[in-house]
Chain A
Amino acid sequence: MENQQKKPIIKDEDSDLILEIKNGRTDLYETLLSKYETRIYNFGLRMCKDVSDAEDLVQETFINIFRYLKDFRMESKFKNWAYKIAASVCMKIKKRNNVTETELSLDDILPADREKEVSSKIPSWVNQPAEALMNKEMYLEIKREIDNLPPSYRIILVLRDMEDFSTREVSEILDLSESNVKVRLHRARSFVREGLKRYFND
Chain B
Amino acid sequence: MTDNEKYSNHCIQMFEVYSQYLDGELDENQRTEVEHHIETCSECRACFMTLKKTKELCSKMPRVKAPDDFTSRLHSRIRNILDCK
Contacts and interface: CB of A to CB of B under 8 A. Distances in A.
B2 interface: yes
Interface residues of B, number: 48
B42 interface: yes
Interface in A173-202: 182-183, 185-186, 189-190, 192-193, 196-197
Interface in A15-44: 26, 29-30, 33, 37-39, 41-42
Nearest to B70: A55
Given A58-B66, A114-B7, 20 more contacts: A29-B79, A45-B64, A51-B67, A55-B70, A59-B74, A66-B82, A117-B47, A119-B45, A119-B46, A121-B46, A123-B50, A130-B53, A130-B57, A134-B57, A134-B60, A138-B57, A182-B25, A186-B18, A189-B55, A196-B53
A150 interface: no
Contacts of B25: 167, 182
Contacts of B81: 63, 66-67
- State the 10 A-B residue pairs at the shortest beta-carbon distance, nearest first: A119-B42, A186-B19, A41-B66, A193-B54, A161-B58, A117-B46, A42-B63, A26-B82, A130-B60, A130-B56
A114 B58 contact: no
Contact of B42 (A63, A118, A143, A190): A118
Contacts of B43: 111, 114-115, 117-119
Interface string B54-85: 11111111111111001100110111011001
Contact of B6 (A114, A138, A190): A114
Interface in A150-185: 157, 161-162, 164, 167, 182-183, 185
Interface of A: 26, 29-30, 33, 37-39, 41-42, 45, 51, 55, 58-59, 62-63, 66-67, 106-107, 110-112, 114-115, 117-123, 125-126, 130-131, 133-134, 138-139, 142-143, 146, 157, 161-162, 164, 167, 182-183, 185-186, 189-190, 192-193, 196-197
Given A63-B77, A114-B7, A123 B65 contact: no
Contacts of A125: 53
Nearest to B39: A119
A37 to B, nearest CB: 6
Contacts of A110: 3-4, 7, 12, 15
A33 B23 contact: no
